[in-house]
Amino acid sequence: MPFEWFIHATGLGALALNIAALLHPCERRLRIQSSLAGAAWALNNLLLGAHTAAALSLVSAGRTATSAVVLSAGERRRRLAFVAFAVVTLAVGVATWHGWPSALIIAASLISTYAMFHLRGVRLRLALIVSSALWMHSAWHHDSWEQMAANLLSAIAALVGMWQIERAERRAVSPGR
């Protein structure tokens, strides 16, 4: 029972980091906090025995931290980083393959990889909602209520973040309000 408690605690900690990241309007801070959440999800997935998800979460943590570093870099540097992480994602996915459900989280990881290096604002958060939907199957398959809640709450947090960005943009356009 104490070990099960630790598994739940790692999931709840990752969930808190995830939500805090998605609610933050700063693109760099979103990426830094998301990378910490990715590391926590990797540990949670490892403890659940979800090896593909654990490996891809670890890749995700590194990818997201790297995307924070190259956020203001030129398109060429971001494209090279994207390609490198896409190749690593595919290699890890193939190496830890456990049937067609692995394809869903590989696709989710590739979508997130593209989004982290090429998208910002509303479009970034929309891509993360799609990624959360694909990760939901893995969470359900491994009976992880923390990850199911995380995917749902992360999607809601991304929607709130989208609303905040659009609201700020509307205020910038019409400052007399």
Q: Is residue 173 part of a domain?
A: no
pLDDT, tens digit, 9 for 90 and up, residues 61-77: 999 999 999 988 899 99
Q: How many domains does the chain have?
A: 1
Q: What is the pTM of this model?
A: 0.80
Q: Is residue 174 part of a domain?
A: no
Which residue range is the domain that position 86 belongs to? 2-163
Q: Is residue 168 part of a domain?
A: no
Q: Is residue 135 part of a domain?
A: yes
pLDDT over 70, % of the chain: 97
pLDDT, tens digit, 9 for 90 and up, residues 122-139: 999 999 899 989 988 888
Per the prediction, the chain carries an average pLDDT of: 88
Selection from 122, 152, 118 nearest residue 135 by Cα: 152
Q: Is residue 176 part of a domain?
A: no
Which tokens belong to 12? 């709840």
pLDDT for residue 102: 85
Q: Is residue 177 part of a domain?
A: no
Q: Provide the terminal-to-terminal Cα distance of the chain, rounded to the nearest Å.
A: 55
Q: Is residue 158 part of a domain?
A: yes
Report the alpha-carbon distance of residue 102 to residue 97 in Å, rounded: 6
Q: Is residue 131 part of a domain?
A: yes
pLDDT for residue 2: 67
